[in-house]
Amino acid sequence: MLELIKVFHQVVESGSFSQAGKSLHMAPSSIARNIDSLEAQLTSTLFKRSTRQLSLTEEGSYFYKQSLKLVIDADTLQAEMRGARDTPQGMLRISVFESFGNLCIAPIIPEFLQLYPEVQVELELDNKLVDLHRDNIDLAIRIGVPQDSGLKARKLLTNRTLLTASPNYLKQHNPIVQPNDLHQHNCLLISQQRQINHWFFNRGKTKQKVSVNGNFISKGGSPLMTAALKGGGVLLLSEWMVRPYLDSGELVEVLPQWTVNHWEGGSGEIFAIYKAAQYPKPHIRAFLDFLISKQS
């Protein structure tokens, strides 16, 4: 019955028989037969089925919650019994936001693959949020802790942001000595899908919310970085993006005595996110440990 329960969990998490079939490499008809068999053994109807929608019945919802620990414990026990005999292998699907993926993840993957030659990595660089269950993703790297209680997270690093500009831009424009001076400057903006953009400044007990405007807006940081390096304006981006250019002198930190963020609550932290409904597979555990070692 345990294998039937695992199929049931995948259907719940994927939202459909077809998506569950893709994740489990099974035909939708096979998924349906597994669910029929489980319902027969339980003498309960677990799903309300229609041509447009698949949803849990009250009994199905109860069974899902009660059986979750059973699945986790079974996977954990199996992994413990295998122990060191479990060699990391197989396809590892990773989703990471574009700038961090290009700068911090892609460069270290060759080293990881040298350590674990039986692993294959499929890397998706995408700034949109993904559903790990529906999109069949093993590991996602995102800013902030996930709200989904069915996911686990490991912190990679604090996402500190710095205000910078090129020396040429600063020479050609009015000096920036306080946050409000930014009203007179072209600011390179991360798209927030709102009419007015604000940057939030903190220094000791002093806080300022400054509205900023600019002629270049992007969902990703890389295009804005290129613009800043060419003297296009003032840039607010994560330290891990701008640090090499600060060290080379191609960018200069602006208002270094202030802490500045895109959001009032701060820039957040970067986490590696993975599914909690199973004991992490060896190749997932290996990559998590590898990531942590690289960020320490």
Q: What is the pLDDT of residues 79-113, one digit of tens each?
A: 666 654 567 888 999 999 888 899 899 999 999 99
pLDDT greater than 90 at residue 268: no
Span 54-66, average pLDDT: 90
Over the chain, what is the mean pLDDT? 87
> Which comes out higher in pLDDT, residue 57 or 158?
57
Ranges 156-170, 238-252, 273-287: which has the least confidence: 273-287
User: Do residues 26 and 33 make contact, with C-beta atoms less than 8 angstroms apart?
Assistant: no
- pLDDT given for residue 148 in this prediction: 67
pLDDT value, residue 69: 80
Q: How far apart are CA 280 and CA 152, in angstroms?
A: 10
Collapse the DSSP code of 125 into the 3-class scheme (helix H, G, I; strand E, B; otherwise coil) and give the result: strand
DSSP for 84-105, written as a single string: GG----EEEEEEE-HHHIIIII
In sequence order, the 6+-apart residues with CB closer than 8 A to the CB of 143 are 97, 159, 267, 268, 269, 270, 271
Which residues are registered as beta bridge partners of 154?
272
Cα torsion through 273, 275, 280, 282, rounded to 10: -70
Amino acid 158: pLDDT: 79
Cα–Cα distance, 35 to 166 (Å, whole number): 61
> pTM for the whole thing?
0.63
- What is the Cα–Cα distance from 55 to 260, expressed in whole angstroms? 45
Could you report the per-residue pLDDT of 160-171, keeping only the tens digit for each? 899 999 999 999
Interval 181-196 mean pLDDT:
88
Model confidence at 248: pLDDT above 90: yes
